[in-house]
Amino acid sequence: MQVDEQARNVLRTAARQALGDEAAEILMASLPPYPSGELVTVDHLSTELRVFRAELRQEMSELREQLRGEMSELREELRGEMSELREELRGEMSELRDELRGEMSELRDEVTSLRSEMGVFQARVCAEISGLRSEIHAMLRTQTLALIGLIAALQGAFAAVIALG
């Protein structure tokens, strides 16, 4: 039997007649204000808690598996991207190596060319110095002979001045 508000009023009236006003109010205050079918028991709460725990464990297990799957996918994506980056880096390093080798070869060629040019320049300078040496030697000889002639003429002139003298 379900107790509604009308049944509670009937009980209150009977309790006042049998127990008095104060005792009837105490009795009515100690009874729940809602139908007995809505009362929660410890057994009911324990059952609900077990069901909730089972549902929670199931959801956590599903989330764990979902998370593992997503982490596995991310791991594979990361490995793929790292592999792509590694290959890209290797390609760029190879290009740089080839460029560097080309530039080093060009520099070697330039150094070889400069050495060759310096050899030609050195030969020209040596030839020019040799020519200048010959010219200087000839000029010194000519100048020395002229000075000797001048000295001899001056000696003759001094000798004449002394003889006249």
The model's pLDDT over 17-27, given as tens digits with 9 standing for 90+, comes to 998 999 988 88
Output the average pLDDT for the chain.
Answer: 91
CA distances from 131 to 59, 87, 124, 136 (A): 105, 66, 10, 9
Model confidence at 2: pLDDT above 90: no
Tokens of 151: 């000295």
Q: Tell me if 36 sits within 8 A of 3, measured CB to CB.
A: yes
Torsion sign over Cα 126, 128, 131, 137? negative
The reported pLDDT for the residue numbered 39 is 65
Instruction: Tell me the whole-structure pTM to 2 decimals.
Output: 0.41
Task: Calculate mean pLDDT across residues 70-94.
Answer: 96
In the chain, the percentage of residues whose pLDDT exceeds 70 is 93
Judge whether 23 and 15 are in contact, CB under 8 Å.
Answer: yes
pLDDT tens track for 8-58: 888 889 989 998 999 988 888 888 766 666 666 788 789 889 999 999 999
Q: For residue 20, is it left (φ>0), alpha (ψ between -120 and 50) or beta?
A: left
